Amino acid sequence: MARFNRLLITGAAGNLGGHLRKELAPLATHLRLSDINDMGEAAPNEEIFQGDVADADLMMGITKDVDMVIHLGGQANEHTWETVLNANIIGFYNMYEGCRKNGVKRVLWGSSNHAIGFYPREQVIDASVYPRPDTNYGVTKVFGEGLAQYYWDKYGLETVSIRIGSCFPKPLDRRMLTTWLSYPDLTHLVERCLIAPRVAHTVIYGVSDNDAKLWDNHMAAHIGFRPKDNAEVFRAEMEAASPEPDPNDAFVALHGGKFASAPHYED
């Protein structure tokens, strides 16, 4: 039996949004989906709205009659300032204003490890650390976490900000032995964020139970996230695929990897 009347997934045409579209269907009577890109045919339980998160009217409309929002819409990697500004700052604000005015109870959204990408590898961090973004993209995620805290403190709108590591079917390189989040662990994490009785504004790291993980989730124990996968099973494969890296290379030295070492996007 569905727990929710209607859930909204933004960014539903993306890899993670597409995965959750399938996985979360049993939890809600209606799934509302939005994306700037084509999402294909709507299933009988689905409502589809194609458009841009930077369109305030669209965001106001699609957040009506929604219990909770899973917000994955926006720009998911470093890009021009104009792109990340529209997608991740203006679009994010539009989404929260829609949620506030339409009385949405809770938002879960894809923040990113790039909000803290400049922490050095020898430092294990929890959710209490000061942000150290590694890109303009990472700065927009810090903005998002700030806005989420503000909407909880001022308006009582709950949020789980999920600092997603590297969510792929399997790790793609040596760094992801540390940062990998498997698809099954993502599903479990999102389900827990939806059904936990009270979350206020929680910051949680989206990372599997990797032997090499550098992120500590003890401050989000109330979510009940118990990841099962471990990137260590891919170690031999990842090490064989690329030579031993220079330990001083930012790719190795910093949590954000190549996001931290890349030059300014528009130079």
Whether 99 and 40 have beta carbons less than 8 Å apart is answered as: no
List, in sequence order, every residue forming a beta bridge with 46; answer none if it has no partner: 31
- Give the three-class secondary structure for 193: helix
Q: Looking at beta carbons only, is 10 or 112 nearer to ligand 15L?
A: 112
**Beta strands in 11-86, from DSSP E residues, in sequence order:** 28-35, 46-50, 68-71
The answer to the question of residue 252 lying near ligand 15L (CB under 6 A) is: no
Helix, strand, coil % in the chain, rounded to nearest 5: 40, 20, 40
Q: Which of residues 123-152 bind ligand 15L (CB under 6 A)?
A: none
Give the residue at shortest CB distance from ligand 15L. 166
Question: CB neighbours (10 Å) of residue 24?
Answer: 18
Q: What are phi and psi of 226, to 5 degrees?
A: -125, 80
Q: Looking at beta carbons only, is 37 or 77 nearer to ligand 15L?
A: 77
* Nearest approach, Cβ of residue 116 and ligand 15L (Å): 11
Among 86, 113, 202, 208, binds ligand 15L (CB under 6 A): 113
Among 136, 159, 161, 166, binds ligand 15L (CB under 6 A): 166
Q: Which of residues 63-82 bind ligand 15L (CB under 6 A)?
A: 76-77
The answer to the question of residue 112 lying near ligand 15L (CB under 6 A) is: yes
Binding window for ligand 15L (CB under 6 A); candidates: 82-90, 106-114, 201-209, 236-244: 106-114
The answer to the question of residue 208 lying near ligand 15L (CB under 6 A) is: no
Pairing mode of beta strands 106-112, 158-164: parallel
Catalytic positions: 137
The answer to the question of residue 179 lying near ligand 15L (CB under 6 A) is: yes
> For 150, left (φ over 0), alpha (ψ -120 to 50), or beta?
alpha
Alpha-carbon gap, residue 230 to 178, rounded angstroms: 9
The answer to the question of residue 114 lying near ligand 15L (CB under 6 A) is: yes
Binding window for ligand 15L (CB under 6 A); candidates: 107-115, 122-130, 209-217, 226-234: 107-115
Whether 88 and 143 have beta carbons less than 8 Å apart is answered as: yes
Binding window for ligand 15L (CB under 6 A); candidates: 88-96, 108-116, 185-193, 214-222: 108-116
The answer to the question of residue 255 lying near ligand 15L (CB under 6 A) is: no
- Give the three-class secondary structure for 117: coil
Report the alpha-carbon angle 253-16-149, nearest 5.
Answer: 70
* Nearest approach, Cβ of residue 249 and ligand 15L (Å): 15
Site for ligand 15L, rule CB under 6 A: 76-77, 112-114, 166, 179
